Amino acid sequence: MPQGHTFHIPVMGTGFTIDTPVKVAKYGIHSVISLVDDTLIEQMRQYYCGVIGEAYTPITKHDEDYRARRITAYLNLLDRIVKMEFAKVRSAAFEPNSEITKYFEMLPSRSRLKQEYKKMLSVTDPAAKRKMQENLRGQMKCGRIDVNIMTKLDRINFTPDKKELPPEFTDALAAFRGYAQSTLESAIVFSAGFNRHLYSYIEKFEDFYANASGFIKKKIILKVSDFRSSITQGKFLAKKGLWVSEYRVESGLNCGGHAFSSAGVLMGPILEEFKNKRKELVASLHELYNKALALSNRKTFDQPHPLTFTAQGGVGTTREHEMLLNTYDVDSVGWGTPFLLVPEAVNVDEETLRRLAAAGEEDLFLSGSSPLGIPFNNLRNATSEEEKRRRIAAGCPGSSCVKGHLAINTEFAGMPICTASREYQRQKTNNIDATVPDESKRKILKDLVMEKACICHELGNGVLLKLGIVKDPSKAPVAVCPGPNLAYFSKIVTLAEMIDHIYGRINLLNEKIRPHMYMKELQMNLDAFFAEVKLNCVLSDANRVKYLQEFRDNLQQGIAYYQHFFAQLAHDAESVRDQALEELRNFEARLDAFIAEHAELFPPVASVANCAV
């Protein structure tokens, strides 16, 4: 039986959850902030210093190690604020609508703490009631201020005279150092893959090692989308005496932000593998971990440290929430996109909030906007997308590169540049015009280039507009990255209302027919597979054929898994079961027909010639 909440708020963009801990940690809710944009982080530090009346001393780009120092200073500030706010909640009176009452009322019914709270309410003896209240206060826990580093964002940095700085000043390492040197007792989430350079750097910081009693001040969370990479990364860290405290499994496509398709490996089979191999994984990591500790003359541990498993991506109902907790034994479920409609928890400017609330399925799409070349969940009428289309129509594609966190492309001579920048798009489209004779292929390639947008800067504009740090919306186009789940939520709601929805106390879904999260994920993977095959037929890339065959195999295996999964649902989920099984029959038929249409691409003989599109 859990003591507290069974959900967490994942990182959303660079700015949407940049101060979410200030809003929700006092209620025992964990949330995650992004460490990508140190300029935004510095602006937020200045803002919150003003809010609490604390003196603000700027850390400028001319200061040594400014990126790490900005992050440390902001995280320390948040740590102080959250601790102060939590102390106020814990000392409040148990009376209607008080902060401490809100803390307990929002807990799930299955929470042991919630059950003790309910017992306290029924007690009439004043002395016994006060004793129970003090016992409840002692058991309250503050939510964590977790942070996220997207490991692929590891730009090399340079001095003003364009000399390369040492490796520890890359974006990822500097951001990590900023967190490592902070006062936080929390966790860092590594997402987007394996970065050996970054992971090796962790060894330099004592907070990531267990002390003699087994306590780890700063924990490691790996956000993953398959079991194989999880165990590879976990073993790499264990061999350094570093313990992974959580595996956070995220749906590859049915999520917000960047989408990693994992070649059609679906969330259900991934979670099943984690459940079946959980003990094996913990045991293998513990053995390697102890060996590493012994080699470095550190204390070893007879029992593994706690290792939790969580899941996120596309969850929208309490039935799905409970399914993940009970079927796969996960410890917490991440709810991201629906919180974009909760101003109490997440920062979204008023205009973007209005557009998000009105968004339907047709307004949410998987775009090519990210300069990283990774599919990016997007809102079709986001002001950032509108501004991008306006520039293309005016014959001036590309953005000014304001912050340069994605300036990592070295295709052309000179300093690394961002593929969303005007300079890159000018050079690249000119190169395509000069080297690609086929007009239709040339148009496709140029469209792919011009689709890139400045997300590293524009994902932060929403919070700047909401807090009044930037006044003019025309000078701050907002990029936003909701998952497709947003289509089924249309109300702007309070924090308490969203939590009541999560725990099944109310229903916030709109009247649109919403498929089960697994069916939505499968649909997105099928669409991605069809698009990849069709694009490959135009580009004739023989190197991609093996990948496409693997994608096809994984989809077929995933459909078979879901057919068995939904067939086993209990009687009280009969309508969900029947709808899902019907959708699976349709998906299977579509996939089979598509494969037959493109038979020349698949075993036993692979060919990219004469593809039908």
Give the model confidence (pLDDT) of 8-64 as tens digits.
999 999 999 999 999 999 999 999 999 999 999 999 999 999 999 999 999 999 999
Residue 153's pLDDT band, with cuts at 50, 70 and 90, is confident
Q: State both tokens at 253.
A: 């496509």
The answer to whether the predicted template modeling score (pTM) of the entire model surpasses 0.95 is: no
Q: Which residue matches tokens 């079991």?
A: 227
Which pair of structure tokens corresponds to residue 551?
């994608």
Mean pLDDT along residues 560-589: 89
498 within 8 A of 573, measured Cβ to Cβ: no
Do the beta carbons of residue 361 and residue 510 sit within 8 Å? no
Predicted confidence at residue 446, as pLDDT, reads 92
Which amino acid, 64?
E
Average pLDDT of every residue of the chain: 93
What is the percent of the chain with per-residue pLDDT over 90, rounded to a whole number?
Answer: 82
pLDDT at 610: 40
Residue 178 and residue 184: Cα distance in Å, rounded? 11
pLDDT digits (tens, 9 = 90+) for 354-370: 999 999 999 999 999 99
Per the omega criterion (within 30 degrees of 0), is the bond before 604 cis? yes
Token pair 């599919």 is found at: 375
Please write the tens of the pLDDT for every residue from 232-266: 999 999 999 999 999 999 999 999 999 987 899 99
Which single residue is written with the structure tokens 């004592």? 206
Q: Is the pLDDT of residue 503 over 70?
A: yes
- Distance between CA atoms of residues 535 and 529, nearest Å: 10
Measured from the Cβ of residue 177, the count of other Cβ atoms closer than 10 Å reads: 21
Distance between CA atoms of residues 251 and 268, nearest Å: 9
Residues 271 and 286: their CA atoms lie apart, in Å, by 21
